[in-house]
A and B are shown apart, each in its own frame.
Chain A
Amino acid sequence: MSEPRQPRAAFAPWDRRELPGIFGVEETARRVGNYKWIEMRLFEALGGWVATVPELDVKLVLGRHCYHHAWHSELWDKRLPELREMKTDRLTLPPNDEMIAFVDALREPEAPELTIEKLVGVYRVLLPHKIAAYTYHQNGSSRITDAPTIRSFGFILQDELEDWREGEMLLQSLIETPDEVERAANRQRELEKLIVAAGGIAGPGTIGGETGVPAPEGVAVG
């Protein structure tokens, strides 16, 4: 039987969490503000498109996914004051003008015959970029100092991955002819260029590389 007063380490042997993460408080807040901004623009677009798509199954899925991204934006909005930004609107921003151009192009299709174009923008361009950005941030953060952000990433990524799969399956069911394959590929190419120009949903350095991010805060422990 163990002796209750026997000193034990603060971390169990299997607990490999480490300090610090790659981002400090300020850079995390900036990115979270970018995340909230893109989640908002996305849920608005999905909500707006519901009335414009004639395919009943797509209409109903867009209504459901609209709420998922609204909830993500709410999680990010709640995180911002905990990252010392009390006026959350101040950081609810796109990373740069190129991102605005991407979102304008993403939300442009309206006509009822453009369901493929609408879905490609969301499920073949934006969601893969969000999944990459969130995964990078999650993996690069300390599971001790930034555990609340990481917990949100867990919930959000689960939605993103499931929604991406559902959207991709809808697309595969809609794309039936070589012409439609072309339409989907053209649309993806056009939007991919724009999001690459923006550097990703949090601007250059969204998934590492040249970031201009300040050196991490805290002490190396390990």
Chain B
Amino acid sequence: MKKILPPEELARDARFVRVNIQDTIADPRQAKVSERNTGSAKLEPDRPAAADRARQLMHGIFMGEVQALEGAGRTTFDFTDEEVPFQLKLDMARQSWDESRHCEISVKLAEHMGTEIGEFAEATFLYEAACAPDALLRLTGVNRALEGLAIDVFNTMKLFGDHSGDPVLAACEDWMLADEVTHVKMGSDWLRRLTENDPERRELALEFQRTVDKLFSLGGFRGETDDNPIQLARRFRELAGFSTEEIDELSEVTAEAQAEAEAAAGVNKS
């Protein structure tokens, strides 16, 4: 088996449908959707489309979990004993098990919420960040940026479960949230340990994280205002080793991403 398996070679059964996320974002219909004034974008039970949106999000979470599992698994394999510390490999193996459980939880929750594997398409952006040739970039791009996004998503879903009277959803999301805090903390800890005497490498890794963070604030998908369906989960990010300054910086990044998306769509917020 070769090192570094490209995203197009991810193995899937016949149910899965692959899309390119750039195509989705560039879809001209997106601008039309943005023009509609539907009030707060938060995932709240009283929104007419809330159930559909939650189902779609759940399917997206499932696909993210599959790729997180695949990415963590590849990181145990892609690097030699000389390239990464033994303990880092052990952490990635532990993450593989956690993500495997998250897949199981997500499949059951997806059924519980009325969707099924393949109803929505799969984009491979998470796994793509897990193909970085430097393990440190994987730890910032995947563990800190994308697993950080998972913290925000799970917290949002947990609150949706609470507000919509679905204790099964809320409880399961809370368990996954606990694991994701652990995974983000792995990223924070390894970033500190691997770059203790190398500020330049640290800056490069953080730059990669910022790029991924901005890309996956997905034009206003995540933030701290009513316009963002996914809310930034400050408390859990602190537990996972983010400083207040880092969270503030991320908040600015999300606001920028939203402003750029609105400008591109010609939305006039008055």
Q: Which residues of A contact B (CB under 8 A)?
A: 40, 43-56, 59-64, 66-71, 73-74, 77, 89, 92, 107-110, 112
Contacts and interface: CB of A to CB of B under 8 A. Distances in A.
B97 A44 contact: no
Which range contains the number of B residues in contact with the other chain?
A: 20 to 34
B74 A66 contact: no
Contact of A48 (B77, B90, B94, B97): B77
B1 A40 contact: no
A48 B78 contact: yes
Most chain A beta carbons < 10 A, residue from B69, B76, B104, B117: B76
Interface stretch (B8-16, B206-214, B236-244, B247-255): B8-16
B93 A66 contact: yes
A36 to B, nearest CB: 9
What 3 A-B pairs are tightest by C-beta distance, nearest first? A48-B77, A63-B100, A70-B93
Given A51-B70, A55-B13, A110-B2, A40 B103 contact: no
Contact of B73 (A49, A55, A89, A112): A49
Interface string B67-89: 00110111111100100001001
B77 A77 contact: no
A63 B1 contact: no
A54 B66 CA distance: 11
Contacts of B75: 47
A63 B69 contact: yes
B92 A73 contact: no
Contact of A60 (B81, B103, B117): B103
Interface in B1-47: 1-2, 5, 9-13
A44 B96 contact: no
B77 A44 contact: yes
Given A52-B11, A53-B11, A67-B94, A46 B1 contact: no
Given A48-B1, A51-B10, A60-B100, A66 B76 contact: yes
A63 B73 contact: yes
Contacts of B103: 56, 59-60, 63
B99 interface: yes
Contacts of B70: 50-51, 59
Contacts of B94: 67, 70
Nearest to A53: B11
A49 B93 contact: no
Interface in B96-125: 96-97, 99-101, 103-104, 117
A71 B100 CA distance: 16
Contacts of B127: 51
Contact of B1 (A69, A71, A109): A109
Contacts of B2: 110
24 contacts: A43-B76, A44-B77, A47-B75, A48-B1, A48-B78, A51-B10, A51-B70, A52-B11, A54-B12, A56-B13, A56-B117, A59-B70, A60-B104, A62-B73, A63-B69, A63-B100, A66-B73, A67-B93, A69-B93, A77-B86, A92-B81, A107-B1, A109-B1, A110-B5
A40 B89 contact: yes
Nearest to A115: B11
A52 B104 CA distance: 18
Given A47-B72, A70-B89, A70-B93, 18 more contacts: A43-B76, A43-B89, A47-B96, A48-B5, A50-B73, A51-B5, A51-B10, A51-B74, A52-B9, A52-B11, A54-B12, A55-B13, A59-B70, A60-B104, A62-B73, A63-B69, A110-B1, A110-B2
